[in-house]
Amino acid sequence: AQSVTQPDIHITVSEGASLELRCNYSYGATPYLFWYVQSPGQGLQLLLKYFSGDTLVQGIKGFEAEFKRSQSSFNLRKPSVHWSDAAEYFCAVGNGGATNKLIFGTGTLLAVQP
Amino acid sequence: GAGVSQSPRYKVAKRGQDVALRCDPISGHVSLFWYQQALGQGPEFLTYFQNEAQLDKSGLPSDRFFAERPEGSVSTLKIQRTQQEDSAVYLCASSSRTQANYGYTFGSGTRLTVV
């Protein structure tokens, strides 16, 4: 069965520091992978997605993620964090089948210190 | 509209009460999804519509949950005889593609509290 693991429940970084949020997935075939961000009281906003091709994908707000098949990982990175990046981040895998549903991880809550 | 609209934003229901949650997807979007997000958890799939057809309802937790999209646009998620474990944020999402692996657009959700 498909699953997504986000091992870090809560991360605190200083403004201007680099960021890496971890995501590991379990899926039999080539996965469709996503990162979403959720601000308090808001819905989910798509940051970036990977289907195939270049394993380093660029997203909005200066985020990028790298697909590593050998490690079953799709980690999210940002070189310099801004205070407005404080939010909860969800990694998700899509099954690509008729249902097209996404399986989400439990999320990583990012806090940004001044 | 420009985005996915959900109403109400907040709903408090007494245990045993029936509730109806509304989702207005982006105009023309063929795919519509409902997800349930419990406190501190990621969203969990409930059901999927392609136009008016409900193609997958495998995530609905019990027969108290019912969803419809009769004209292929607005959708309603109904929960009968609400219980405390139904307290969660209910998210609706839509996509212009049937292959929704291109990503969905989510609404802001309805926060349901059952007391």
E-only strand ranges, chain B = 5-7, 10-13, 19-24, 31-37, 44-50, 53-56, 65-68, 75-79, 88-95, 105-106, 110-114
Partnered with residue A90 across adjacent β-strands are: A36
Tell me whether B100 touches chain A (CB under 8 Å). Answer: yes
- Residue A43's pLDDT is what? 85
Instruction: Give the separation between CA A94 and CA B43, rounded to whole angstroms.
Output: 13
Query: Is the distance from CB of A51 to CB of A34 less than 8 angstroms?
Result: no
C-alpha distance from A86 to closest chain B C-alpha (Å): 16
Of residues A42, A101, A104, nearest to B56 (C-beta): A101
The predicted pLDDT at position A42 comes to 81
pLDDT for the residue numbered A63: 97
pLDDT tens sequence across A77-114: 999 999 999 999 999 998 766 667 889 999 999 999 99
Query: Which two three-digit tokens encode residue B45?
Result: 């799939």
Q: Tell me, what's the pLDDT at A101?
A: 85
At A27 the pLDDT is 80
pLDDT mean over B20-28:
96
Q: Which two tokens stand for residue B115?
A: 């007391």
> What pLDDT shows up at residue A54?
87
B47-75 per-position pLDDT tens digit: 999 999 999 999 999 999 999 999 999 99
CA dist A32 and B71 (Å) reads 30
pLDDT at A2: 83
Chain A residues with beta carbon closer than 8 angstroms to that of B95 = 100
> What φ, ψ does residue A70 adopt, rounded to 5°?
-65, -25
Residue A35, beta-bridge partner list = A48, A91
What is the distance between the alpha carbons of residues B84 and B112, in angstroms, rounded to a whole number?
10
